Amino acid sequence: MCGRYSLASEAYNSFIEFMDMGYPFKVPSRFNIAPSQPVAVIRLKGSDKDQAIIPDAPLPEREGALMRWGLVPHFAKEIKNDRPLINARSETIADKPSFRGPFRRRKCLVPADGFYEWKRDGASPIPYHICLQDHAPFTFAGIWEAWTGPNGDDWLETVSLITKPANGVVKKIHHRSPVIIEPQDYDLWLRPEDPPDRKIFDKLSTDIDLKLEMYEVSPFVNNARNDGEECIKPASKDQFKLF
């Protein structure tokens, strides 16, 4: 599971510059992004219009968008906030009714510069921040969906992050980790496929998983209402443990 992550505005700016996208919109520095909040997403232009899929055709340009984290299926009669669909498993994404449509046509990239996981050891879970060793921004694999209210007067775009069995440092504390997309795989991931390529996850590079580092942070991050750099600071100088 991936239930919190971070994205500083400097990291977002670096990512947008790398993507050669100009400046789609401003994002504030956020160190404790939580479900149901608006998040920055990169998708293909026109992917919100269900255009016909042309095999091997050049991909459209990419664009930035803001979406709510927690996918709402297009067939939902109402928005339920009790258990938002924040993650989709790579093993079952092609089969689950809520995810299979977006997996065919609405894949996206979600920029981040780190994410959190909790080690369930003892009375209280211990939070860890996980990021690249050079602290550079990266992208999660995501899928998104558009929901229209029953009367046609509500419109909402929402996103889920893809997870897979954990490996590398993440496996030391949790059995799941987010799918991270390397730059050379952006087009591979974003291209619509109908029927979907069920083996796409085997084609994605996992080298980036070996470039992650992890360290314990303060329980301050446990509360989703808390934000600021305190969320990503090591718990103490003596506890700064890199794995």
Q: Which residues are catalytically annotated?
A: 2, 117
Would you call 117 exposed, middle or buried from its count of C-beta atoms within 10 A (0-12, 13-18, 19+)? Answer: buried
Measure the CA–CA gap between 139 and 112, rounded to whole angstroms.
6
Please, are residues 34 and 4 in contact by the beta-carbon 8 Å criterion?
yes
Measure the CA–CA gap between 156 and 152, rounded to whole angstroms.
11
Please, are residues 99 and 93 in contact by the beta-carbon 8 Å criterion?
yes
Question: Residue 223: phi, psi to the nearest 5?
Answer: -90, 120
